Amino acid sequence: MDLRLWVDPDPWADAPTATPPTMEPTDTSKATVERKMKFSAVLDQGDESEFVISSEEQKQRWLENFVRQTGVLPLEQEEPSTEQIFALLRRVNSGGAPYADFSVWLPYGKKAHRTQKYRSYIPVMGGYITKEIPGPGSFDQWRASFRAYRTAMLMLDILTMATCVAYEAHVEKLDRLYPGAWHLIVAADDLGRSEHLVRLRVSVNLDIANGTKEPMGWAVENPWECLFRMLVKDSSFWAEQVHVPANAWLAHGSKGKPLTPAEAVAAASIQGGINAIKPDTESTAGTPSSARRTRNVRRREAKRKQAEAEGPTEAKKNKGDSKGKGKGKEKPQACYAWNNNNGACAGLPPGAACQGRVSRAHVCTKCGSVGHPSCQCPQKDG
């Protein structure tokens, strides 16, 4: 309660002092229901501010709005969590773009948040190592997050289904056009929804202030429907972020990883190169277990451990003894049936395959030549 509204009661008074009429009653039920969460947990990794999550009743009304537009409830994997919806609504109401970071905005938002919340970090002196969660690694992963994002946009009446489908089809077209340049596409999508939409809004407002006619479908109270359509048709933006670097990467033989325009500038003119603008991300590849290792890998590890246990002298001795005994070093056994001109290989010409039950080499046992058997060797009389 505000200190200005607090009244010190008179202990000698006959009745307790009445509450001033200006003081608002305390809503204990509301205080217990409201809870806070950081934007970095569900919406944007770079925003550490907090927002208040209201009750589930508001989400039910938004679901009813979604049903009125589509006729059915969203699929389980496409339904955003209450935390995701309120975070997106808070961002839009504060004047920001309806942006969601698909690294943390995931389908099955409640389960995904629980997984991220209990993720372990490596402690270092004075704190912990902070690492960002990597974004979607393929179009299928991106589409799963975008479908949940699309449902939230429809529930909040920010976008229509037609605009959402057009944007998803545009990203899919880029993925099919440049199958090896997904890094460029996902970076352009993230930049477009986070920053380029704001630039487009400022550009439209400046044009309107200078007397230019408003673009088709423009609404001051909700400009994002029009801006998303402008983003899809902004050929200069997609050319700069995707088409030009992807074609240059293909022209150079698709070597290495394609660089976005920001990464290319950083690599050429910023101290530290790409690492100066690229945050540390968590590793997505797990440590291979012993069950998944191949037999040859386990055999090499066993030999290495045995050599370490024997010591350097014994290990060198064993290593020297094994020289010349590798595969392919031993002299092949000659076929005596071919050399004596009897049995299954009798009369076969030089170079013919051995016909015995055990395949042997057709070489002369006297001079080692493959051009004649020992029975025809010119050295037989010597």
The DSSP annotation for 99-136 comes to ---TTT--SSHHHHHHHHHT----EETTEE---BPP--
**36 band by pLDDT with thresholds 50, 70 and 90:** confident
350 or 149, greater pLDDT: 149
**Average pLDDT of every residue of the chain:** 80
pLDDT at residue 244 in the model: 94
The mean pLDDT of 20-27, rounded to a whole number, is 41
Half-sphere exposure in the Cβ direction for 180 (13 Å, CA): 14
pLDDT at residue 350 in the model: 84
The mean pLDDT of 223-250, rounded to a whole number, is 95
Look at residue 82 and tell me whether its pLDDT is greater than 50: yes
The mean pLDDT of 240-267, rounded to a whole number, is 87
pLDDT at residue 156 in the model: 93
pTM check: above 0.85: no
Look at residue 149 and tell me whether its pLDDT is greater than 90: yes
Q: pLDDT above 90 covers what percent of the chain?
A: 36
The mean pLDDT of 321-343, rounded to a whole number, is 68
Q: Which helix (H) or strand (E) holds 50?
A: strand 50-53
- Reported as a single tens digit per residue, the pLDDT across 102-138 is 988 988 876 666 555 545 455 666 666 666 777 888 9
323 or 251, greater pLDDT: 251
Residue with token string 């005994």: 325
Total residue count of the chain as it appears in this document: 382
> Which of 8-12, 111-115, 332-336 shows the lowest mean pLDDT across its residues?
111-115
Do the Cβ atoms of 153 and 159 come closer than 8 Å? yes
> Which of 79-93, 149-163, 277-291 shows the lowest mean pLDDT across its residues?
277-291
- Reported as a single tens digit per residue, the pLDDT across 262-291 is 888 888 888 777 777 776 666 554 444 444
Look at residue 152 and tell me whether its pLDDT is greater than 80: yes
For residue 5, the tally of other CB atoms under 10 A from its CB is 11
- Reported as a single tens digit per residue, the pLDDT across 170-198 is 999 999 999 889 999 999 999 999 999 99
What are the domain boundaries of the chain? 22-158, 179-282, 333-382
Q: What's the maximum distance between 2 C-alpha atoms anywhere in the chain?
A: 144
DSSP assignment of 136-156 equals -SSHHHHHHHHHHHHHHHHHT
The mean pLDDT of 79-93, rounded to a whole number, is 91
84 or 122, greater pLDDT: 84
For residue 164, the tally of other CB atoms under 10 A from its CB is 19
pLDDT at residue 261 in the model: 87
DSSP assignment of 163-180 equals HHHHHHHHHHHHHHH-TT
